[in-house]
Amino acid sequence: MATDAPPPSKTERRLPSTEEYVEVQQSAEFGELRRAHRSFAFPLTVGFIAWYLLYVLLSNYAGGFMGTKLVGHINVAFVLGIAQFVTTFLIAWWYARHAAANLDPKGEAIKSRMEGEA
């Protein structure tokens, strides 16, 4: 079975000590990485949960509105339900782009220093 993974490295990587982990965790660089993640993930999470709860509440308490036919047998509930899936995939795609551009390089730099490669 072929994989795209590179072969294992022949050199041993240095494992950081507990003190080094604590030092990095308290560093400004790690704080910046954490803020970059939180400032993106938390608002999107809150927004998506609010959007999901709106859908659930409308489904439970606004049956007339949700049953409104838009085109043929397609009603508001169906369109909003499909929109839940679409927004889920859009958020995942957006987060992957954000992580690749903003989080992964910072995390890789920290990892490289911790393992003694930089």
105 within a domain of the structure (yes/no): yes
- What is the rounded distance in angstroms from the CA atom of residue 57 to the CA atom of residue 80? 12
CA atoms 58, 56, 95, 92: torsion sign:
negative
Helices (H), 12-71: 18-25, 28-61, 63-66
pLDDT in tens, 66-80: 999 999 999 999 999
Residue 31 lies in a domain: yes
72: left (phi over 0), alpha (psi -120 to 50) or beta: left
Q: Is 12 a domain residue?
A: no
pLDDT > 90 fraction of the chain, expressed in percent and rounded: 72
6, part of any domain: no
* Rounded Cα distance, 118 and 115, in Å: 8
Evaluate whether residue 87 is within a structural domain.
Answer: yes
Q: Considering its fold, how many domains does the chain have in total?
A: 1
Q: pTM for the full model? A: 0.75
